[in-house]
Amino acid sequence: MKTIRIGNGCGFWGDNIDAPILLAEQGRLDYLTLEYLAELSMSILAIQKQRDPKTGFPGDLLSALKRLTPILKSQPGLKIVTNGGGMNALGCAEQARAILDAAGLADRKIGVVQGDDLLPELDELMAQGHPFQNMDTGQPLSTVRDRVVSVNAYLGAGPIVAALAAGCSIVITGRVADASLTVAPAVHEFGWDWNEWDHLSAATVAGHLIECGAQVTGGLWCNWMNAPDLGNVGYPIVEIGPDGTFEITKPNNTGGAVNRETVSEQLLYEVGDPAAYLTPDVVADFTQVSLEEIAADRVRVTTKTGKPATDSYKVSIAYRDGFAASGTLLIFGPNSIAKAKKSGAMLLERLARAGSAPEFSNVECLGGGDCVPGVIPATSDPPEVVLRVSVRDSRRAVVERFTKEIAALVTSGLPGTTGYTGGRPQVREVFAYWPALVAKTAVTPTWSVL
């Protein structure tokens, strides 16, 4: 039975920069996927594009592509599917075209998927009756419209499949659902119809399992001590067949582990209702997934339950929401937890006396159980903790005043205060996340070839 091998060499913008190259070299792949985008990424890229229209996409993609060109020459059948186009898929693809041409790969077509960026037509869509209601609060987007910086629909696999059918060796998209990067090659290779829900669901499960890179091959595994050579962790490969059955593995002679636990942990990562995992392609039922360890570092996955996709796209919206800064100090010696908490309170008191009380503040005692409050409390008085104070305010001046106060605790605070060597904390602009839905009829995905 024909199978295809799809490997994901990037789980997010900032992932290991060598992973795509090593996976392409070692993985015997038909497809290499590279997943760069998250909600925060889109807002950062939107601001970049506002400053320079030629940017707006993760530069890591082009750096990886330059290093991948020799592999693409030696493996002419290898295809790349990536959402690394970010907020400027066309601009990214144009630069990718220049890289391929310079490397003697002018014959490789590049597909460009667009249509996810709804910001240019946002006001028109709102006037037509699309409220972009916040899925958490129920508020209409009009309450923050003047501060919106990005509006992107999560497109599905359809336009990627069309670009692959047109002979594209590389497909660069903007915001698409993460799993769709894997669904598209499967649909293209096996000729599935868009109503074969069980097959689409299986490919979606496969895509979800590999979308975060090494998280399914031993990264963040609860039994990490049993993952050999995690420093050389192998990135994931899915071998999928035309009936939707697939296996998760990784390249030989790489570290990490693939087993029922690592796969189960990733299966439930970022899942709301496991019986109804919503994507633009299908509604997948994760409760019907079966995992079987069939060999070392190889897990067979079977699932046959898919339901029709909904009539809406998820929309990721980012808007400006003030300014923030965080600062840290080391507090050591007896009663370090109490001293850290007191130091944080003193800092906020001084800000209040100066007329710069922040609208939001958070005092954390790292090492004293504050990373996940109430989950793992400190069982004894630790010899040292890290005090972290964070503030957020709509007024930049208030946050700037905070950055000038924290260092004073080194000499005017409590005994055992040290660790101030990195300069004042930086003030950063805050971009808040606004999740919404929009009718699919309001969005027009497009694709083109370079």
CATH number of the domain enclosing 377: 3.30.70
Answer whether 303's CB lies under 8 Å from 201's CB: yes
The answer for 115, left when phi > 0, alpha when psi is -120 to 50, beta otherwise, is: left
Together in a domain, 283 and 378? no
| Cα–chain center distance at 438 | 21
- The verdict on residue 143 lying in a domain is no
pLDDT value at position 425? 96
pLDDT-derived band at 234 (thresholds 50, 70, 90) equals very high
Q: What percent of the chain has pLDDT over 70?
A: 100
C-alpha span between 148 and 350 (Å, rounded): 34
Q: Tell me whether residue 12 is exposed, middle or buried, using C-beta atoms within 10 angstroms of its C-beta: 0 to 12, 13 to 18, 19 or more.
A: middle
Both 257 and 373 in a single domain? no
Task: Say if CB 199 and CB 244 are below 8 A apart.
Answer: yes
Yes or no: say if 399 and 389 are a contact pair by the CB < 8 Å rule. Answer: no
Going by pLDDT thresholds of 50, 70 and 90, the confidence category of residue 39 is confident
- Region of poorest pLDDT, from 32-36, 44-48, 67-71, 161-165: 44-48
- Identify whether residues 387 and 280 lie together within a single domain: no
Q: What is the pLDDT of residue 104?
A: 98
The bridge status of strand 4-8 relative to strand 31-34 is: parallel
360 or 51, which is more confident: 360
Domain coverage including residue 423:
321-433
pLDDT tens digits, one per residue of 83-132: 999 999 999 999 999 999 999 999 999 999 999 999 999 999 999 999 99
- Residue 387 pLDDT > 90: yes
Paired with 327 in beta bridges are 389
Are 63 and 199 within one domain? Answer: yes
CA dihedral for 64, 70, 76, 78, sign (positive or negative): negative
Sheet holding 168-173, edge to edge: 290-295, 298-302, 246-249, 237-240, 4-8, 31-34, 79-82, 168-173, 109-114, 446-449
pLDDT at site 89: 98
Q: Per the domain annotation, does 446 fall within a domain?
A: no
In a domain, 448, yes or no: no
Asked whether the predicted pLDDT for residue 399 surpasses 70, the reply is yes
Contact status, residue 327 vs residue 413, Cβ threshold 8 Å: no
* Same domain, yes or no: 40 and 158: yes
pLDDT per residue over 3-14, tens digit each? 999 999 999 999
Return all residues near 425 (Cβ < 8 A) that are at least 6 apart.
325, 326, 327, 402, 403, 406
- Residue 30's region, left for phi above 0, alpha for psi from -120 to 50, else beta, is alpha
Instruction: Say if 60 falls within a structural domain.
Output: yes
Domain termination site, one of 310, 334, 360: 310
Q: Is the pLDDT at 1 greater than 70, yes or no? A: no
**8 A C-beta contact, residue 365 and residue 337:** yes
pTM for this model (two decimals): 0.96
Q: Compute the C-alpha angle 14/19/24, nearest 5°.
A: 135
Query: Would 265 be classed as within a structural domain?
Result: yes
Instruction: Output the average pLDDT for the chain.
Output: 96
pLDDT at 159 over 80: yes
Give the span between the Cα atoms of 144 and 124, in whole angstroms: 16
294 in the same domain as 389: no
Q: Are 265 and 243 a contacting pair, CB within 8 Å?
A: no
CA distance 313 to 257: 35
Residue 211 lies in a domain: yes
Chosen domain end from 287, 310, 333:
310
The pLDDT, as a whole number, for residue 74 is 98
Name the domain boundary from 276, 310, 344: 310
Total structural domains within the chain = 2
Residues 331 and 374 in one domain: yes
Q: What is residue 8's predicted lDDT score, i.e. its pLDDT?
A: 98
| Residues 253 and 391 grouped into a single domain | no
Q: Are residues 247 and 356 in the same domain?
A: no
Q: Are residues 284 and 426 in the same domain?
A: no
Residues 306 and 326 in one domain: no
Residue in the block written with tokens 């290093």 = 67
Quick one: 247 and 281 in the same domain? yes
Q: Residue 25: is its pLDDT beyond 70?
A: yes
**pLDDT confidence bin for 161, thresholds 50/70/90:** very high
Would residue 445 count as lying in a domain? no
Predicted pLDDT at 246: 98
- Angle 260-267/197-210 helices, nearest 10 degrees? 110
Is 354 within the bounds of a domain? yes
